[in-house]
Structure 1
Amino acid sequence: CRIKKATKIVVFSSILIFADTRETGFVNAITSAGVSFSVTKACSLGSSISCYCDPTKLPDLNITDRWEWAGCDNFQFGYLKSKEFLDDWFRKRRDFKAMLLSHNYEAGRLAVTNSMRIICKCHGMSGTCNLKTCWHKLPHFRKVGDLLKKQFDGAVKVMAGNDGKRFIPEGATIKDPRKQDIVYSEESPNYCLPNKKIGSLGTRGRECNRTSMGVEGCKLLCCERGYDTMVYTIERDNCNCRFYYCCKIKCQICQEKRTVSRCF
């Protein structure tokens, strides 16, 4: 069952990847972020022989004591390799689609760069901290994904400018997109109902959270069609285990109830 679902997701992505929707913008951004993150991680672990520790100093670090730079998370190298790998195919293109793609790739790379942390360690007798060693530290990729999810929620719809070299926000009240913002030009299709043409499976039968007001909540995920709630009783092995001297472990089989809601 899992293999079938994974296959359908791949087909869905391949069909919609050429549409400039906000979902496509998110996919492009997080792909770029993943390349940048993976290359940087490989550098710090010594898995790549083509990179080196980051020699960049800390220009904005407010430290009154003496400090030394000891960084090895070379995020600048990861940034450049991601740009070289992903942006190469449309370097000679100047059309609107290439501009959107380039912008969202850059947004993904900036999500990694902006999530970097500065870590410092004190040295000295009895914790006097006469010397500090500081370095940049990669965040967990989950944090990068959460940042891009916020950018996805606030994605900016744009259209091509008259000069053909830039894009402008669609609508007079919409702010100009920043470099770290995800942009798109086409409205998303309706994912609520099955659509073989775009590969959408719809949300009928999807498990939802009836107490949540977020996207996983039944109201949004079920597209206001309603949902059904059932209570299941499941058996769980290795419950209430006890050790008996010597030397046995006896466990019980416990029953627990689980409440599941699914979309109509």
Structure 2
Amino acid sequence: MEMRPVLVAICLLLVTPITGSFWTVGSQLVMDPMLVCKKTRRLKGKLADICRKEPSLLKEIAKGVQVGTRECQYQFRNRRWNCTTVRRSLKKILLRDTRETGFVNAITAAGVTYAVTRACTMGDLVECSCDKMTSKGNRLAKFARTVEAKKSLPTEGDWEWGGCGDNVNFGFKKSREFMDAPYRKRSDIKTLVKLHNNDAGRLAVRNFMRTECKCHGLSGSCTVRTCWRKMPPFREVGNRLKESFDGAAKVIPSNDGHSFITEGPTIKPPGRFDLIYSEDSPDFCKPNRKTGSLGTTGRQCNSTSPGVEGCELLCCGRGYDTRIVKEKVNCQCRFRWCCEVTCNTCLVKKTVNTCR
């Protein structure tokens, strides 16, 4: 399936203020990520600068949206809501303020941070480069104060900062400028929740950087090590945000009108890494145009699993149909010297269960 048009739609939905008139125009902007800039001529501030002066950065941002979407679909592949990119569903999800909305915002902000940072390291952006930290640099002093940094710093032997680390601060900054700029002057509950979840996604990348080192010395000895900072694999970012999704806290507006509090007095106030929401999620069992639910009819399930991917839960108690399908697989593989593997093609039967 061609993903690019719907991913562009996600990008547009995430960076444009939620207004009734936007959805009329935004539904047509599905062919080019640059349209987020071309169709919004009254842009101001940092977002306008990116649109008008940094087209290469805009391309990396679009890649980041794809990174986030693929990870979202992986994390929710076995759940009733499977992070579908079908526009009639996703648009409704993003209009609401559920757990699912929070995860989409967080993983997309993380994906943009990740893609822009990686582009800096690879030299694909003229606006930035890799992060060349030094033992006397201010960046090191600031970084070393974080808890995760102290856990990952080398504890044995002599070492020094060097090499070409990931410039995550640049990626963090550009993700915030592009995704948060349209909402900075608003203080309604949906905006506060969105900005919080965006930051939680970015922090899942920046605050979990790891240290990598290379040895220097004669005959393979490790007299001195040069170390640099590297982003975690994005799968780890997705896993971390998925855990936050499972433990997300429901919030309500506070009396001052500029912040939020948890719905119940016994609920622990959310931290910067936690995801939050203000609306309960639908059950996603049946199609519902109002909520964006596509239902689970036709989804494949696992009849032997008691978990969320099991037929009982995924099919919402409606039952499931079973059929036997045949598929071609490689079999009877042989290794031939040197260096070739030859296989036969076999037909195997596979049981497929689908929700009614």
TM-score (structure 1 length as normaliser): 0.87
Whether 2:129 is the aligned partner of 1:52: answer: yes
Matching residue of 1:110: 203
> Structure 2: which 5+ residue stretches go unaligned?
7-83, 134-138, 145-149
* Map of 2:355 onto structure 1: 263
1:121 equivalent to 2:224? Answer no
Given candidates 155, 164, 171, the residue that maps to 1:78 is 171
Matching residue within 96, 106, 117 for 2:189? 96
Once structures 1 and 2 are overlaid, which stretch shifts more, 104-113 or 46-55?
46-55
Paired residues, number? 257
Aligned-partner Cα distance in 2 for 1:82–1:71: 21
| Structure 1 residue aligned with 2:87 | 10
**Partner Cα distance (2:269, 2:243) in 1:** 17
1:139 and 1:180 map into 2 onto residues whose CA distance is 16
Question: Distance between the aligned counterparts of 1:218 and 1:152, measured in 2?
Answer: 23
> Measured at CA, do residues 235 and 263 of structure 1 come closer, stay the same or move farther in structure 2, by a change above 3 Å?
closer
Equivalent residue, structure 2, for 1:224: 317
Q: Which is worse superposed, 13-22 or 208-217?
A: 208-217
Give the Cα–Cα distance (whole angstroms) in 2 for the partners of residues 156 and 203 of structure 1.
26
Deviation at 1:252, TM superposition (A): 4.7
Give the RMSD, CA atoms, in angstroms.
2.5
Answer yes or no: is 1:28 the counterpart of 2:105: yes
Off by >3 Å, runs of 4+ in structure 1: 237-244, 249-253
Counterparts of 2:160 and 2:345, CA distance in 1:
58
| 3-state DSSP of counterpart to 2:354 | strand
Residue 56 of structure 2 aligns with which residue?
none
2:268 to 159, 165, 175: 175
SS for the counterpart of 1:17 is helix
Larger Rg: 1
Q: What SS class does the counterpart of residue 196 from structure 2 fall into?
A: helix
Contact 1:115–1:143 (8 Å) recurs in 2: no
Following the alignment from structure 2 to structure 1, what is the Cα–Cα distance between the partners of residues 298 and 289?
A: 17
1:40 counterpart residue number: 117
Secondary structure at 1:87's aligned position in 2? helix
Instruction: State how far apart, in whole Å, the 2-side matches of 1:68 and 1:242 are.
Output: 48
| More strand, by proportion | 1
Tell me whether 167-176 or 57-66 shows the greater mean CA deviation.
Answer: 57-66
| Structural mapping, 1:129-208, within 5 Å | 129-208=222-301
**How far apart, in 2, do the equivalents of 1:13 and 1:109 lie?**
21
User: TM-score, with normalisation over the residues of structure 2?
Assistant: 0.66
1:94 CA displacement: 1.9
* Equivalent-residue separation in structure 2 for 1:243 and 1:95 (angstroms): 64
Q: What is the identity, as a one-letter code, of the residue corresponding to 1:92?
A: K
Counterpart contact for 1:43–1:72, Cα < 8 Å: no
Q: Sort the Cα spacing of 1:137 and 1:193 in 2 relative to 1 into closer, same or farther, 3 A.
A: same
| Partner Cα separation in structure 1 for residue 347 and residue 92 of structure 2 | 44
CA distance in 2, matches of 1:97, 1:41: 30
Correspondence for 2:328 among 210, 233, 236: 236
AA partner of residue 355 (structure 2): C
